[in-house]
Amino acid sequence: MNKRLRRAGLSILGLAAALVVGGFAYLQHPKFGSLPSGARLQAIERSPNYRDGIFQNLSDTPMRTQESRGFAANLWSMLVDRNPNLKPPVPLPATRVDLKALALQDDVVVWLGHSSYYVQLGGKKILIDPVFSISAAPIAWANDAFAGSTPYTADDMPAVDYLLITHDHWDHLDYPSIKALLPKVGQVVTGLGMGQYFEQWGYPLDRVLERDWNSSVGEADSLRVHVLPARHYSGRMLTRHKTLWVAFALESPQRKLFFSGDSGYGPHFREIGERFGGFDLVALDSGQYDRRWANIHMFPEQAAQAAEDLRTKALLPAHIGRFSIAAHDWDEPFKRITAAANGRPYRLLTPGIGAPVRVGDETQSFSPWWSKLGS
């Protein structure tokens, strides 16, 4: 009996050791990236937004609110208390246009699902947070995209002048997509510290511009890319706040666009609106909200107010329509933002994935396509 127990104990220890070794080996995959170091870390440490060894939000931003029961309890809730309406019952409708054939003089925004965009502005081509993978998680099956929500691949993208990345979370920085886009990217613009990923993934250092909040790159007579504050956090695994999360404003001589990336509501929206004198279109975080992390993502009603703070002419809701990260129904953000934007001094634009938005065309409208799919 003792021999059997010893053999069983040794087997369990061997299995545990194998899991530890296997897990460690898996974490060495380049998709996880590495922490900034050397000259890059020195540049980070000079930032006024980097204090006590981490980047800080402009306003106090606890990760979890009073409703939170702690990380383990929240994780268990997400795994066990499953909402049956997290995903649409049928594949999402999507429009596939030949992005390479769009006239360069046309200012357009094409929502690619979630927070991914193809943009043409001021004669420049821009990709923002492109995620073409079916999964947005370190484990392939952990966060699969809705059926029908990934009609485009990296091969469908034209060569772009700028690749803009707001932060390093899996649903915004996708390793396979970034690798596949390497031959097509003129310049990467992203937050401080983020260049560590691109350097590790094969991008030449001279093609990666890391910037702090309230800085810009580009040319005033064609396109300026402004790197602006967001209210969020960063971290690919357990280490947080070591790279900077950002929003972007795109400014041509004729038009101004704003992309919030992931952000909770805060006074920075009003300050940005005042600084730029308003926008032609803004795309705002409007989904994956929860009372337990109310500071780092906006509820639709907050996004509706943020759009007004930004003095925009049109609002495009974002962070919806592809992945289920929070516990709300998949279509709830569309319903709530439609109600919250009613009567506001801007137009709400709700294109399906892939349908080009003609910036400045005040006659263009979109139907509530989600209402035809059911919950």
The Cα–Cα gap between 40 and 60 comes to 26
Mean pLDDT in residue range 349-371: 96
**Where residue 110 falls among pLDDT bands split at 50, 70, 90?**
very high
What are 193's two structure tokens? Answer: 């510290």
Confidence of residue 22 (pLDDT cuts 50, 70, 90): very low
Segment 334-349 mean pLDDT: 98
Asked if pLDDT for residue 253 goes beyond 70, the answer is: yes
The per-residue pLDDT for 230 is 98
The tokens for 190 are 């992203």
pLDDT (average), residues 212-235: 96
Distances 312 to 129, 262, 268, 273 between C-alpha atoms, Å: 22, 18, 15, 8
Give the separation between CA 327 and CA 86, rounded to whole angstroms: 7
In CATH terms, 99-372 corresponds, of 3.40.50.10680, 3.30.360.10, 3.60.15.10, 3.40.50.10880, to: 3.60.15.10
Question: For residue 24, what pLDDT is reported?
Answer: 45
pLDDT at 64 (0 to 100): 81
* For range 37-41, the mean pLDDT: 95
Q: Given a cut of 90, is residue 66 above it in pLDDT?
A: no
Please write the tens of the pLDDT for every residue from 284-334: 999 999 999 999 999 999 999 999 999 999 999 999 999 999 999 999 999
Whole-angstrom distance, CA of residue 316 vs CA of residue 128: 14
pLDDT reported for residue 63? 86
345-368 average pLDDT score: 96
Instruction: For residue 325, give Cα distances in angstroms to 79, 245, 319, 329.
Output: 11, 18, 10, 11
> What's the whole-number average pLDDT of the chain?
91
Least confident interval from 58-67, 157-166, 232-241, 356-365: 58-67
Residue with tokens 């049956």: 84
| Number of Cβ within a 10 Å radius of residue 137 | 14
Kindly indicate the confidence band of residue 19, based on its pLDDT and cuts at 50, 70 and 90. very low
Per-residue confidence (pLDDT) for residue 137, from 0 to 100? 84
Mean pLDDT of 193-199: 97
β partners of residue 348: 315
Give me the residue spans of the domains in the chain: 99-372
Angstrom distances, CA of residue 174 to CA of 44, 50, 184, 353, 363:
23, 25, 16, 18, 35
User: What's the residue count for the chain?
Assistant: 375
Element holding 196 (H helix, E strand): helix 195-200
- pLDDT tens profile 49-65: 999 999 999 999 998 88
pTM: 0.92
In tens, the pLDDT along 161-189 reads 999 999 999 999 999 999 999 999 999 99
The answer to whether residue 100 scores a pLDDT higher than 70 is yes
* Residue environment code for 171-200, b if the CB has 16+ CB neighbours within 10 A, otherwise e: bbbbbebbebbbeebebbbbbbbbbbbbbe
Sheet holding 108-111, edge to edge: 208-211, 185-191, 160-165, 124-128, 117-121, 108-111, 356-358
Q: Which residues lie across from 314 on neighbouring strands?
A: 347
Measured in whole angstroms, the distance separating CA 262 from the mean position of its chain's CA atoms is: 6
Question: Rounded to the nearest 5°, which phi and psi values hold at 315?
Answer: -120, 130
Query: Please, how many CA atoms are within 13 Å of residue 35, restricted to the half-sphere of its CB?
Result: 12
Note the pLDDT of residue 142.
77
140 pLDDT tier (thresholds 50, 70, 90): confident
